[in-house]
Amino acid sequence: MSQTPPKPHHHGDLRAALIRAGIDILQTDGFHGLSLRKCAARAGVSHAAPAHHFDGLAGLKGAIAHHGLTLFREAMVAASKDETDDLARLKGICRGYLNFVAARPALFRLMFGFESHEIEKAAREIDDAVAYDVLRAACAPFVRKDLPAPILEAQVWSLIHGYATLYLTGNFLRDVHALPEQEAFDQVMAALDRMVSL
Amino acid sequence: MSQTPPKPHHHGDLRAALIRAGIDILQTDGFHGLSLRKCAARAGVSHAAPAHHFDGLAGLKGAIAHHGLTLFREAMVAASKDETDDLARLKGICRGYLNFVAARPALFRLMFGFESHEIEKAAREIDDAVAYDVLRAACAPFVRKDLPAPILEAQVWSLIHGYATLYLTGNFLRDVHALPEQEAFDQVMAALDRMVSL
DNA sequence: ATGTCAATATTGACAGTGTCAAGTTTGCGG
DNA sequence: CCGCAAACTTGACACTGTCAATATTGACAT
């Protein structure tokens, strides 16, 4: 895509404005509300203008996801940075994960929903690392010879990702979601105690 | 919706035909390929005919998800029924879960993607139980006083659901997915050993 | 058999959507 | 000042879901 717009001509910086518009629309109108034409309208340009900055809708979604990943990382960092204990820190990461899901459901859906398959794949692999590193660091203290880092990370990531998505969609887990939110989270995340114990 | 179509007039049983068409289209053209008009065309009726059997697209998706849930259940039962050991049986359920995801990705996405939010909600809560009961039964042997059934179920469901969706979308977990599929599955599901152990 | 009537399906229209092919404006570099 | 390319607009196309109006069908009562 056009990663170097050196000097904006008409708008100012349309590319950034469209991404901002997209994130706003996701928050306001939900995932369905996002469309190229609405982003264009909100940015005050014509309906086909975005085509010059993104490779169609998939390209715009890719750019939004790219930006969203830094917000995602920030949420996890913020929720874990005050923890000193290794386990509490890991749970803080998960707490941040869930906070992000609750705060920006549509953006999360764009980033991690099945749609991510159709998103511009190029930069994705690099971007993912931005968020994944946070988890990796939090998992590091628990790595053992019989529990390699990639496996542990996959286990933890699967657990929190699964819980977050089931939480978001309301599928299954009704008994648990009937509990107060924090208690439900704590009880499910208690699985980490065992997964990580000697 | 029309839950009692006592005597078909024109088509034969258009409702069932549309659901079948929908599942076929999901398998052939992927999630995006599904549309009311295409289902109608494949069933040999006009584009607006489905409206008389389903409450719009959400209604059709709901009906497809309803049917898909029984296939989903069958996949889990089939993969676990020959196991006698309790833990192996639980892992068989998870194996069946992943098998289903691999075999019918678009249908799975319709059922458990974020789209399920917009799906006809009415029957969903009852339907869910159809599949959830399989998991519940497999979890039952491991329930203890300090590990109530709903919590354990939520932990197991979150783990396999998270792994399956990350597997499907290709987000994160690259190191693990570089492994042979069965080995990756086994290693991640080893977390169950610990979660369930005394 | 005949007429009634509701369920079933068709047709045509409408507002959206993404995307493409042209044209138009803008402003920088020679 | 002029060219020229980047940025943007305009108009069209095919496709989508949805609705209102119409036509058809088949069962049931008389």
Average pLDDT over residues A138-145: 97
pLDDT, tens digit, 9 for 90 and up, residues A26-60 = 999 999 999 999 999 999 999 999 999 999 999 99
Tokens found for residue A1: 């895509």
Confirm if B116 and B185 have CB atoms less than 8 A apart. no
pLDDT, tens digit, 9 for 90 and up, residues B44-87 = 999 999 999 999 999 999 999 999 999 999 999 999 999 999 99
pLDDT of residue A196 exceeding 70, the answer is yes
- Phi and psi at residue B24, in whole multiples of 5°? -60, -45
- For residues B139 and A34, give the distance between their C-alpha atoms in angstroms, rounded to a whole number: 40
B173: left (phi over 0), alpha (psi -120 to 50) or beta: left
Q: Where exactly are the structural domains of chain A?
A: 54-112+119-196
When pLDDT is cut at 50, 70 and 90, the band that residue A192 belongs to is very high
Task: Work out the mean pLDDT of chain A and round it to a whole number.
Answer: 91
CATH dotted code for A54-112+119-196: 1.10.357.10
Question: Who has greater pLDDT, A129 or A107?
Answer: A107
Q: For position B16, what pLDDT does the model report? A: 95
Average pLDDT over residues B177-193: 96
Q: What percentage of residues in chain A have a pLDDT greater than 90?
A: 79
Of A151, A188, A197, the CB nearest to B154: A188
With CA atoms as reference, the chain B residue closest to A155 would be: B188
Task: Work out the mean pLDDT of chain B and round it to a whole number.
Answer: 90
Interchain pair B173, A163: CB under 8 A: no
Tokens found for residue A3: 């990663």
Dihedral angle over CA of A107, A113, A118, A123, nearest 10: 60
When pLDDT is cut at 50, 70 and 90, the band that residue A3 belongs to is very low
Q: For position A16, what pLDDT does the model report? A: 95
Q: For position A128, what pLDDT does the model report? A: 81
Residue whose C-alpha is closest to residue A168's, from A93, A108, A118: A108
Average pLDDT over residues A77-91: 98
* Residue found by looking up tokens 């969903």 in the block: B124
In strand D, which positions have an atom below 7 A from any protein CB? 6-12, 15-21, 25-27
Interchain pair B158, A163: CB under 8 A: yes
Average pLDDT over residues A94-105: 97
**Exposed e or buried b for every residue in A141-168, given b needs 16+ CB within 10 A?**
ebbeeebeebbbbbbbbbbbbbbbbbbb
B49 touches strand D (CB under 7 A): no
Please tell me the class of the B11-53 domain. Answer: mainly alpha
Q: Which nucleotide is nearest to B51 (CA to C1')?
A: D18
Average pLDDT over residues B163-183: 92
Q: Would you say domain B56-196 falls under CATH 3.30.160.270?
A: no
When pLDDT is cut at 50, 70 and 90, the band that residue B5 belongs to is very low
Tokens found for residue A189: 């995340």
pLDDT of residue A183 exceeding 60, the answer is yes
A8 touches strand C (CB under 7 A): no
Interchain pair A165, B165: CB under 8 A: yes
pLDDT, tens digit, 9 for 90 and up, residues A86-97 = 999 999 999 999
Confirm if A164 and A97 have CB atoms less than 8 A apart. yes
Q: For position A45, what pLDDT does the model report? A: 96
When pLDDT is cut at 50, 70 and 90, the band that residue A123 belongs to is low
